[in-house]
Amino acid sequence: MPDEHPLKRWFPRRKVSLPCLVSWQDRLLPARTVDVSYAGIGVFLSEAIDVNVEVLVQVPEGIRLRVRPVFRHQENSENFLVGCKVELIERGEQQWMSLCYVPRW
């Protein structure tokens, strides 16, 4: 079928583990990325965040993203997995596109 995609998602996730900084309201936390895609990012945080706030994520290579959390899951007593939708790439758009690139075979 011509409309089929070889991958299940329009923007497939790529597993990437990088240190990052997550800030919202008056908070700033070190975090670690879990996966990235053109449309979203998953991060591990040491505390839960409200899923209704806008968050700023700063990733190495000068990447700065304005994101909106869409889900959170407590992995254990110390880590929360937060999945975010990318609302705006404030800086480092080319670096972000390179980081998210997943070859389609």
The string of DSSP letters for 23-91 reads EETTEEEEEEEEEEETTEEEEEESS---TTS-EEEEETTTEEEEEEEEEEEE-SSS-EEEEEEEEEEEE
Provide the CATH number for the domain around residue 50.
Answer: 2.40.10.220
Taking the model in full, what pTM does it have?
Answer: 0.83
Number of domains in the chain: 1
- Asked whether residue 91 is assigned to any structural domain, the reply reads yes
Whether residue 95 lies inside any domain: the answer is yes
Is pLDDT of 22 > 70? yes
Q: Is residue 3 part of a domain?
A: no
Q: Which domain holds residue 52?
A: 14-100
Provide the pLDDT for residue 53.
Answer: 83
Place of tokens 């999945």: 83
Q: Please indicate, yes or no, if residue 24 is contained in any of the structural domains.
A: yes
Dist. CA 42–CA 84, nearest whole Å: 6
pLDDT tens profile 24-61 = 888 899 999 999 999 999 999 988 777 688 999 999 98
Residue 8 lies in a domain: no
Q: Is residue 42 part of a domain?
A: yes
